[in-house]
Amino acid sequence: MKHNFGAGPGILPQEVLKQAAAAVINFNGTGLSLLEISHRSAEFEAVLDEAVSLVKELFEVPSGYSVLFLQGGASTQFAMVPYNLLPEGGKAAYVESGVWANKALKEAKYFGTVDVVATSKESNFTYIPKDFEVPADAAYLHITSNNTIYGTQLQQFPSSPVPLVCDMSSDIFSRKVNVADFGLIYAGAQKNMGPAGVTLVIVKDDILGKVDRKIPAMFNYQTQIEGGSMYNTPPVFAIYVSMLTLNWLKAKGGVEAIEKDNLAKSKALYTEIDRNPLFKAVAVPEDRSHMNVCFVAENPEHEKPFLKLCDEKGIVGLKGHRSVGGFRASIYNALPITSVHVLIETMQEFAEKNK
Amino acid sequence: MKHNFGAGPGILPQEVLKQAAAAVINFNGTGLSLLEISHRSAEFEAVLDEAVSLVKELFEVPSGYSVLFLQGGASTQFAMVPYNLLPEGGKAAYVESGVWANKALKEAKYFGTVDVVATSKESNFTYIPKDFEVPADAAYLHITSNNTIYGTQLQQFPSSPVPLVCDMSSDIFSRKVNVADFGLIYAGAQKNMGPAGVTLVIVKDDILGKVDRKIPAMFNYQTQIEGGSMYNTPPVFAIYVSMLTLNWLKAKGGVEAIEKDNLAKSKALYTEIDRNPLFKAVAVPEDRSHMNVCFVAENPEHEKPFLKLCDEKGIVGLKGHRSVGGFRASIYNALPITSVHVLIETMQEFAEKNK
C-alpha cells in the first residue's frame, strides 16, 4: 500500500483504476477494448455526454457556458486563450502568482500586449498578490487558482470588470466555485479529474467571436464547441477515466463534500507542520493551499533522512519542486485522510528520533 | 471473439491490451497505477525513451531527425506544419487526395498561399492524383499516404524538389518507408500504433527555423524537440500503449514482416471482392489501399442484410464512411488474417444465399 502524495499526474481513486483496467480489456460488454472502439460509436458518445453532464452537475455550470474536453494540457490553453480572446492591438491583464502564470503570460505576448497587474515573484511566489487594479480596457484578467510549486491558493477570487480567465489545473473540483463569475476556466485533468492527456475547458459562449484574427480549427474554441469536443478523434481513454472519476466524486457527495474532506486533510497537516519544531511551511498562512502543502526542514540536513523514512512508510512523491526544495504533500481529492495521518505520524516519529 | 474491422480508433494486439490493463492497476511493480505516476519519474522517462528508440529502430530513422510524441491528433498537425514551415508570404504545395488532405490544406491557408498541385476530388477521390509539378519555390509538398475513407494508398511516394511532408496516420508502420525521403512525417496513433490521444511526428531538424513568425511554445516543433516531448505533461498512458504496440511489432519481425502479412490480408480480400459477383471495390486497382479495403454491394438492397450477417459472425466496424457508403474493411497491423478469412467466408456465404 503506497501513500501517493505526487504533484501530478496524481492519485486516482482505486475503484476508478479497477474500472479503467477492466474497460481496457472489455468495454461495457462489447467484447472490444475501450482503446479499439470508434469515437463515433454510441458507446463512446454516451461516455462523452456523461462526462460533460457530470461537469455541469458537479460544478453547477450555468446555461450559456460550453464544456469541452480537449488535448494539449493547460500549456496549450496558455496560447489558445489569447488566440481566441485577445484582439490584435489589444491588451490582457495577468496576475503572476507562479511559474505557470508566468508561462501563460509569455504565450499571450505573441498575440497582444500583456499587463502584469500584480506579481509575487520578488518573494519566490510565497504569497498570492492581492491588491491590484484591472484596466477596464483589458480583454480579460488571467489568474491561477492554485500554485502547485509554492503551495499557495487563491482563497477568494478577485472581482473583475473584464472576463475572468482561470487556470484551475491543480484544484478543479476540490472546492465550490461560482462558475458564473468566470469567462473561462481550464484545467489539465491529471491532478483532480483524471489521467494526463485531456484538458477541461468551461467557456462562456458570449465572450467568443470578438477577435478578428483567423484561428486554425483545432485552436478555435468555436470549432471545438461546434464539434462537441469531437472535431477530431478525442483522447477516448483519458475522457473515460475522467468520467469515472467525476462519477466517483458524485458518489462521494460532490464538490461540497470533498471540500470538507480536503479542508480536514490540509488542516491536520498544517497543524502538524506548525507544531513540529523540525518543519516549517513555505507559503504565508493566509494563502496556504489545500491541495499542495509545501514545507521545508528547519535543518536542511534533515531533508534526506526524512525522505528516506517516508520511503520506508510507503509515502511517495513527497519531494518538493526543485525551485522551492523541501517537501510537497499533494493531497488531491482521491488521497484518503488515512494517508495524511501516516505522513503526520512519520513526521512525529522523525521528530522523536531527532530531538 | 470479435473481428474488429473498425477504421479507427482501431484494433490493437490482445497482448498489448493485457499489459496496458495490468499497468493501470500496478505499473512495473511500483505499487502505483501508470495513471498516477509522475511523468518526470525514472519509470515513465524509460517508457518514453523506449518508445522513441523503437520508432527509430523500426522505421530506420536516420540521424538528423527528431521523434516526437505530441497531443492533438493529425488535425493539430494540419495547423502546426504550416505554422512552423510556411513563411509569411510563402507558398506550400498540397496534393488533395481526400477529405483529410483537404482539411490539411485549409489550415495552411491561415499561414500563407496554398497551391493545390493535384486533386482527385472530381471522382470523389477514388484514385491518387499522380501527374503534377511541384513548384521549386514551395516551402514544402504535403501528401497523404493512405486515405481511409476511399481506400486509396500511395504505392510510390512522389519525388519532390522541396521537403516532403506526409500524413501517415492510417498506414504508419504498415510498410517500409525511406524516412530520408521526407522532411516531416506525422500520424495520429489510433490506427496502427496505439490508442487515441497521441500523435507521432518525425521531423528533419534542418527544415525548422526558417520562418520568422513567433510560434507559441506548444505549437513549436523546436520547443517540443528541446523538451523531449515533455515541454508539458505528455499523454502518459497513450505513449505507454504505443510503446507496447511498437514492441509487439518488433517481436513480430518489424515493419518488413508486417508488410508481408498486410499484403497477404489485402490480397485475399481484394481477390474475393473481384471474384464475388455481389461486391465491387471502390478504388481503382493500382491505388488500392492495403489498410482500408472499401467496397460496395452491386445491389444496394444487399447492404443491410450483409451487415446483419456480418454482425452475426462477430464482424464489427465494417460499415463504410457516409461519403462513400457500402463497406470498409480496415485491416490494420493488429488484425489477424483469420479475421480476414472469416469476412471472406461471410461474403461467400452471403453470395450463396443470394444467388
Q: Name chain A contacts of B241, Cβ cutoff 8 Å.
A: 35
Does the CA dihedral A201-A207-A209-A210 come out positive or negative? negative
Asked if B140 contacts B164 with a C-beta cutoff of 8 angstroms, the reply is yes
Q: Do residues B174 and B154 touch, judged by C-beta distance below 8 A?
A: no
Res B355: pLDDT: 87
- Per residue in A318-353, pLDDT (tens digit) is 999 998 999 999 999 999 999 999 999 999 999 999
Q: Quick one: pLDDT at residue A1?
A: 82
Closest residue in B to A72 (Cα) is B71
- Residue B311, classified by CB atoms within 10 Å of its CB into exposed (0-12), middle (13-18) or buried (19+), is exposed
Q: Do B72 and A71 touch (CB under 8 A)?
A: yes
Chain B neighbors of A39, CB-CB under 8 A = 9, 196
Q: Which residues contact B130 (CB under 8 A, 6 or more apart)?
A: B118, B158
**Amino acid identity at B199:** T
Residue A196 to chain B, least CA–CA distance (Å): 5
- Cis before A9? omega within 30: yes
Query: Cα separation of A222 and B2, whole Å?
Result: 38
Do the chains contact at A38 and B6, CB–CB below 8 Å? yes
Helices of type H across B252-302: 254-275
DSSP state, residue A120: -
Contact B214 A110 (CB under 8 A): yes
Distance from CA of A6 to the nearest CA of B (A): 7
Show the cell assigned to B55: 520508432
Distance from A142 to chain B by nearest Cα, in Å? 17
Containing B340, the helix (H) or strand (E) segment is helix B337-353
H/E element, A72: none
Cα(B307)–Cα(A306) distance, rounded to whole angstroms?
64
Q: Is B3 helix (H, G, I), strand (E, B) or coil?
A: strand
Minimum distance, in Å, between the CA of residue B319 and any CA atom of chain A: 12
Question: CB-CB: which of B71, B74, B237 is closest to A237?
Answer: B237
pLDDT at B159: 93
Nearest CA in chain A to B38: A9
The residue of B77, B218, B248 whose CB has the most chain A CBs within 10 angstroms, and thus the best one to mutate to test that interface, is: B218
Closest partner residue to A35 (CB to CB) among B9, B234, B236 is: B9
- Nearest CB to B218: which of A9, A75, A197? A75
Per-residue model confidence as pLDDT tens digits over B199-228: 999 999 999 999 999 999 999 999 999 999
Question: Residue A314: its chain B contacts at CB < 8 A?
Answer: 31
Tell me which amino acid residue B229 is. S
Q: Which three cell numbers stand for residue A332?
A: 488531491
Decide: B319 and B149 in contact? Cβ < 8 Å. Answer: no
Residues of A catalogued as catalytic: 100, 167, 191
Measured distance CA(A62)–CA(A49) in Å, rounded: 17
CA pair distance B143, B197, nearest whole angstrom: 23
Neighbours of B349 (CB within 10 A): 12
DSSP summary character for residue B6: -
Closest CA to B216 of A115, A134, A216: A216
Phi, then psi, of B202 in degrees rounded to 5: -120, 115
| Three-point CA angle A85, A226, A198, nearest 5° | 75
Question: Does B224 belong to an annotated binding site?
Answer: no
Would you state the pLDDT for residue B204? 98
- Residue B232 to residue A35, Cβ atoms within 8 A: no
Residues 6+ apart with CB under 8 A from A295: A151, A273, A279, A280, A281, A282, A326, A327, A329
Name the E strands within A71-136: 91-96, 113-119
- Report whether A68 contacts A225 (CB < 8 A): yes
**Strands of the sheet with B184-188, listed across from one edge:** B65-70, B199-204, B184-188, B164-167, B141-144, B91-96, B113-119
Question: Which residues, 6+ apart, have CB-to-CB distance to B241 below 8 Å?
Answer: A35, B12, B16, B20, B194, B195
Query: Searching chain A, which residue's CA lies closest to the CA of residue B72?
Result: A71
Residue B26, number of CB atoms within 10 A of its CB: 15
Q: Is the peptide bond before B9 cis (omega within 30 degrees of 0)?
A: yes
* Angle at which helices A42-58 and A236-251 cross, to 10°: 40
The amino acid that residue B162 corresponds to is: V
CA separation for the pair B248, B107 (Å, rounded): 35
For residue A218, the chain B residue with the least C-alpha distance is B76
Q: What pLDDT, on a 0 to 100 scale, did the predictor assign at position A171?
A: 98
Q: How far is B115 from chain A (nearest CA, A)?
A: 18
At residue B339 the predicted structure's pLDDT band, cuts being 50, 70 and 90, is very high
Instruction: For residue B72, give the DSSP letter.
Output: S
Which chain B residues are Cβ-neighbours of A76 within 8 angstroms? 71-72, 218, 232
Chain B residues with beta carbon closer than 8 angstroms to that of A114: none
Question: Buried b vs exposed e over B242-276: b needs ≥16 C-beta within 10 Å?
Answer: bbbbbbbbeeeebbeebbebbeebbebbbebbeeb
Residue A264 and residue A300 in contact, taking contact as beta carbons nearer than 8 Å: no
Among candidates A10, A190, A216 on the partner chain, residue whose Cβ is nearest the Cβ of B107: A216
B14-251 has which fold?
A: Aspartate Aminotransferase; domain 2 (3.40.640)
The answer to whether the Cβ–Cβ distance between A232 and B11 falls below 8 Å is no
Q: Would you list the domain boundaries of chain B?
A: 3-9+254-353, 14-251
Pairing of strands B141-144, B91-96: parallel
Provide the CATH number for the domain formed by A254-353 in this structure: 3.90.1150.10
Task: Judge whether B256 and B92 are in contact, CB under 8 Å.
Answer: no
* Minimal Cβ distance to A39: which of B21, B196, B235: B196
DSSP state of A288: B
Residue A295 CA to residue A283 CA, distance in Å, equals 8
Cβ atoms A5, A292 nearer than 8 A? no
Neighbouring C-beta atoms of residue B43, cutoff 10 Å: 15
Instruction: Check: CB of residue B269 under 8 Å from CB of residue B288.
Output: no
Shortest distance, CA B275 to any CA of chain A (angstroms) = 30
Query: How high is the pLDDT of residue A355?
Result: 87
DSSP letter for A321, please.
P
B46-57: burial string, b at 16+ Cβ within 10 Å, e else: ebbebbbebbbe
Q: What angle do CA B83, B87, B88 make, to 5 degrees?
A: 100
Segments of chain A assigned E as strands: 3-4, 65-70, 91-96, 113-119, 141-144, 146-147, 152-153, 164-167, 184-188, 199-204, 279-281, 292-297, 315-316, 327-330
Place of cell 473540483: A173
Residue (of A341, A320, A279, A273) closest to A148 by Cα position: A320
Residue B219 has what DSSP assignment?
A: G
Nearest CB to B24: which of A20, A197, A317?
Answer: A20
Q: How many residues does chain B have?
A: 355
Encode A147-171: b = buried (16+ Cβ within 10 Å), e = exposed. bbbbbbbbeeebebebbbbbbbbbb
ipTM over 0.85: yes
As separate numbers, helices (DSSP H) first and strands (DSSP E) second, chain A gives 9, 14
Collect all residues of chain A within an 8 Å Cβ-Cβ radius of residue B11: 36
CA atoms of A322 and B289, how far apart (whole Å) = 51
Averaged pLDDT score across all residues of chain B: 97
B167 labeled part of a ligand binding site: yes
At A247 the three-state DSSP class reads helix
pLDDT digit string, tens, across residues B69-110: 999 999 999 999 999 999 999 999 999 999 999 999 999 999
B232·A74 Cβ contact <8 A: yes
Low-confidence ranges of chain A (pLDDT < 70): none
User: Which of A35, A69, A242 is the mutation pick for testing B, counting most B CBs within 10 A?
Assistant: A35
Q: Would you say A191 and A197 are in contact if contact means Cβ atoms under 8 Å apart?
A: no
- Which of A19, A237, A322 is the mutation pick for testing B, counting most B CBs within 10 A? A237
The DSSP symbol for B187 reads E
CB-CB neighbors (< 8 A) of B1 in chain A: 31
Contacts of A234 in chain B (CB under 8 A): 196-197
Burial status of residue A302 (CB atoms within 10 A of its CB: 0-12, 13-18, 19 or more) = middle
Class of domain B3-9+254-353: alpha beta
